[in-house]
Amino acid sequence: MSTGLRKDALGLVHSVAIGVAGTAPSYSIAASTAALVAAVGALAPASLLYCGLIMVGITFAFVYLNSVYPDSGASYAWVGRVLSRDLGFLTGWTVLVSSALFMVSATLPAATATLLLAAPELAASKAHVVGVAACWLIVVSAVVVRGMHVTGVVQACMTATEIAVLGGLTIAALWQFGPRLTENLSWAAFSPAAFTPESFAAGAVIALFFFWGWDVSLNVSEETRDSGRTPGRAASIAMLVIILAFVTLALVTLAVLSEPEIRDSGSNVLFAIAEKLVPRPWSYLAVIAVMLSSVGTLETSLLQFARTLFAKARAGEMHRRWSRIHVRWGTPHLANYLILAVGLALLAFSLAFPDVEAILKASINAIGLEIAFYYGLTAVACAWQFRKARSAPVFLLAVAWPLASAIALWTAAALAARAMDWTTLAIGAGGIAIGLVPMAWVRAQRKAGVRATPGHS
């Protein structure tokens, strides 16, 4: 077996495509808009805009940390290096848990979209949706394990198609519902004063789920050309694209659909929009966009899990088998097989929920808590790393903005957690807390003299 990831497999375009696909614009809009509108109503575009600005601070943290420590472990490696090994371990554990949970959240919309195209009468059957979701998970895993270049090319094609469909729907909405869109652009609709702390927090946790995933561009930094700069540039471009896409599509949603229509459409919001804007069969392009988006974000989540587990194993904080690299494909194939098995097991477990909507709601809120935790720690690590910066721009972008973003994320998560049911809290906060057990074991190994260095080999 080879001992290193394949170098220079990705360029800037591929890396940007992976970053955009990680957030899955079409999937996020389809799966989460109804929940966001239920939480904040007409303030949904404002919630996405302000959370996007918070996320820009997190992006700067990733960019600056990657510039000095390019590492496939990303958040895990940086927090471990800068703050402490224990916090680094817990950060990496949270990335693994959230990625595993996302195996359910990502595959179900892809399966629903597939059935809407192939067998609409089966799209409401939970068992059929879960079965097709398992098939998608197997197929995408087979692509990811075969190498980063193939993954990057496939991802670029899917992302380009998805953005083209979203752009077409936006143009159609402007043509048919221009006056309503203009009304929704008023100051009242975007005023920070329109939020209460509780409503902002409820919207922020859901909006976090919208934005989550772009950081996979940094997890593949060791496989990207000019690893110290290109992944950061890709993440920055991806963040600008997705903020524009999410705010625009939220405005389109409120202009085209009423709040009851949004609520009734569930995880098919994008298709409901398309049905109002264009005739069939063209409206099914929205279903294709959701399917491609779901498959794309599933692909990036598999990448993030495998690269984080690889980095932890390489550092001696997980079993060394997970750091093995396939001699021909240049990927951590055993780590990929593990997340495939975990994803299939979670899909089987999801059959215990009453319906697909209940599964998505619980997983979205739980993952939101976990995202806030590890993004916030990464931002604090960046602020500490660059705390002595003499340059005003560097201090603003690498210290002040990331630190403010971390505080905002943690505050929103704490407020939102108060309104969550025990099942969601157990999945979200419990998933992080369970990591304390293996963390204690790793700490004991260190004290016993077993050498481990966070992130790098």
C-beta atoms surrounding 341 within 10 Å: 11
Predicted confidence band of residue 63 (pLDDT cuts 50, 70, 90): very high
What are the pLDDT digits (tens) for 216-249?
888 878 778 888 888 888 888 888 888 998 898 8
Residue 217 and residue 207: Cα distance in Å, rounded? Answer: 20
Predicted confidence band of residue 210 (pLDDT cuts 50, 70, 90): confident
pLDDT the model gives residue 147:
64
Mean pLDDT across the chain, nearest whole number?
A: 82
C-beta atoms surrounding 260 within 10 Å: 8
What are the pLDDT digits (tens) for 352-384?
766 656 666 667 778 888 888 999 999 999 999
At 154 the three-state DSSP class reads helix
Neighbour-count burial of 178, counting CB atoms closer than 10 A to its CB (0-12 exposed, 13-18 middle, 19+ buried): exposed
Q: Taking 90 as the threshold, does the pLDDT of residue 415 lie above it?
A: no
- Domains contained in the chain, CATH given: 12-447 (1.20.1740.10)
pLDDT the model gives residue 453:
45
CA nearest to 149, candidates 24, 26, 242, 13: 13
Q: Taking 70 as the threshold, does the pLDDT of residue 431 lie above it?
A: yes
Predicted confidence band of residue 3 (pLDDT cuts 50, 70, 90): very low
Return the structure tokens found at 294. 């779901």
Preceding amide of 402 cis, omega within 30: no
Return the structure tokens found at 414. 């704490």
Q: Taking 60 as the threshold, does the pLDDT of residue 409 lie above it?
A: yes
pLDDT the model gives residue 360:
63
What are the pLDDT digits (tens) for 120-152?
787 778 788 888 888 888 988 888 777 666 666
CA nearest to 375, candidates 414, 416, 403: 403
